[in-house]
Amino acid sequence: MAAQMAAKDQAMMADREKMMQDMTRADQRLGDLVATMNAASGMQKTDATAAVVNEIVTERQTMRDRMIKMQDGMMAHMMEHMQAGAASMAMCPLMTPMSNMKH
């Protein structure tokens, strides 16, 4: 049971790391679009502004969907730890404060 729990912990940590990488790429895409928008004028500025708004909406939808999926997964994961005992939860790397995790 402990080995299965550790594997799930590692899988969830890998998912979190992928999410952080995806967010970094999304920030870069948005930054690039904003730079293009700021440098544009006339109709190009209007088109560039629309591209920025579309990117923000897409990111928000993606973030919401990912958050819902993660919340469901975390609740199930916490229940597994609770059934395995307090020591199991204390050893889970996902239960450490966010400030201790690398960004």
Whole-prediction pTM: 0.66
User: pLDDT over 90 for what percent of the chain?
Assistant: 45
Q: Looking at the domain assignment, is residue 78 inside a domain?
A: yes
Number of folded domains that form the chain? 1
**Per-residue pLDDT tens over the stretch 73-92:** 878 877 887 787 767 777 77
Terminal Cα distance for the chain, rounded? 30
The reply to whether 67 falls in a domain is yes
pLDDT value of position 96: 64
Q: Is residue 19 part of a domain?
A: no
Its domain, for residue 52, covers 43-83
Residue 75 inside a domain? The answer is yes
Helical spans, DSSP H, in 1-103? 2-39, 42-84, 86-90
Residue 22, in any domain of the structure: no
Residue 58 falls inside a structural domain:
yes
